[in-house]
């Protein structure tokens, strides 16, 4: 895991977002908590007070289990690692926000997909999604508007598309990190032919696609209606036979501003990314690593800049 790329975040920062990528609405990150979820909670509680939280996110998202749930409600999850054995599906049809208070991990422990947003507009802030397994969107699958702020996806795997997130309509990502996710197409994020997405200040590292798009796959059918914009985002060590980092199925492609691909920033600005020729064909091991600057012995560069047999600069 490339832990040096993780950036500390706050659950109170704001994000410009909206029903379409071009619109703006920062209020969802500023609303106070309406309900609480805790590993020590009880779904029989009302959940409106931090001392009496609910136990499961599934209950908190269902008006039949959470009587007070209404449009624009904010569900705050208290720190902990929550195991998911049955994909979380919201029981409401209106917009809700799920926010982390402290370090919150949703792990499917390699057994199932994590969240199926369906057609419910949802916002996520500060959540770590890991261990998801499924056909498409093992981490998150969504057919509605989705917004993500300071979220992390690691070790999710889809047999077909988008191991971290499958975007069927619209999605906005700010300050999000994607590590070690794997799929046939789009190791991390797949945007459908009628979908739009924006990425800002994100990191994609060591994601892998067996066919196309190591990090992202787009399929823009109508550039007047749909677009994919990427701003100030770092791509490191992603891998795929076609489109090492990004693959576009159509001639209308994504827009990238301030993007970096396998730059020195991937090596903490103290080295360069090189191809590892010693990795066996068909292996899931990363085919690229950092070669540090001469004399550097920091935590992210341990080879001291010495020549490495079988490796070449990208």
Residue 281 buriedness (CB in 10 A; 0-12 / 13-18 / 19+): exposed
Q: What is the pLDDT of residues 233-288, one digit of tens each?
A: 999 999 999 999 999 998 778 999 999 999 989 888 888 888 887 777 767 777 78
The answer to whether 186 and 157 are in contact (CB under 8 A) is no
The residues near 37 (Cβ < 8 Å, ≥ 6 apart) are 47, 53, 54, 55, 56, 57, 60, 75, 76, 77, 78
Q: What is the pLDDT of residues 110-168, one digit of tens each?
A: 999 999 998 899 999 999 999 999 999 999 999 999 999 999 999 999 999 999 999 99
Decide: pTM greater than 0.85: yes
The answer to whether 164 and 158 are in contact (CB under 8 A) is no
Tally of CB atoms within 10 A around 303: 16
Q: What is the pLDDT of residues 304-313, one digit of tens each?
A: 333 333 334 4
Domains and CATH numbers, the chain: 3-261 (2.160.20), 264-314 (no CATH)
């Amino acid at each position: 895991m490339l832990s040096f790329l993780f950036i500390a975040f706050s659950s109170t920062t704001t994000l410009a977002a909206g029903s379409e990528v071009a619109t703006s609405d920062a209020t969802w990150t500023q609303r106070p908590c309406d309900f609480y979820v805790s590993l020590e909670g009880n779904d029989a509680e009302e959940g409106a007070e931090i001392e009496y939280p609910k136990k499961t996110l599934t209950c908190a998202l269902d008006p039949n289990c959470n009587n007070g749930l209404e449009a624009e409600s904010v569900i705050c999850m208290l720190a902990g690692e929550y195991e998911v054995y049955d994909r979380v599906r919201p029981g409401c049809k209106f917009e809700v926000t799920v926010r982390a208070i402290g370090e919150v991990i949703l792990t499917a422990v390699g057994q199932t997909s994590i969240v199926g947003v369906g057609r419910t507009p949802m916002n996520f802030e500060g959540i770590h999604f890991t261990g998801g397994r499924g056909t498409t969107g093992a981490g998150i699958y969504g057919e509605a508007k989705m917004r993500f702020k300071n979220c992390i996806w690691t070790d999710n795997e889809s047999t077909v598309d988008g191991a971290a997130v499958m975007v069927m309509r619209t999605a906005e990502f700010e300050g999000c990190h994607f590590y070690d996710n794997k799929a046939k197409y789009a190791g991390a994020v797949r945007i459908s032919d009628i979908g739009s997405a924006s990425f800002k200040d994100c990191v994609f590292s060591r994601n892998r696609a067996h066919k196309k798009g190591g990090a992202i796959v787009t399929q823009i059918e109508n550039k007047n209606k749909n677009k994919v914009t990427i701003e100030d985002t770092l791509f490191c060590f992603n891998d795929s036979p076609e489109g090492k980092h990004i693959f576009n199925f159509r001639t209308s492609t994504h827009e990238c501003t301030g993007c970096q691909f396998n730059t020195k920033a991937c090596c903490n600005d103290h080295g360069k990314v090189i191809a590892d020729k010693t990795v066996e064909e068909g292996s899931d091991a990363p085919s690229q690593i950092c070669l540090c600057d001469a004399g550097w012995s920091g935590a992210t560069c341990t080879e001291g800049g010495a020549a490495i047999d079988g490796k070449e600069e990208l």
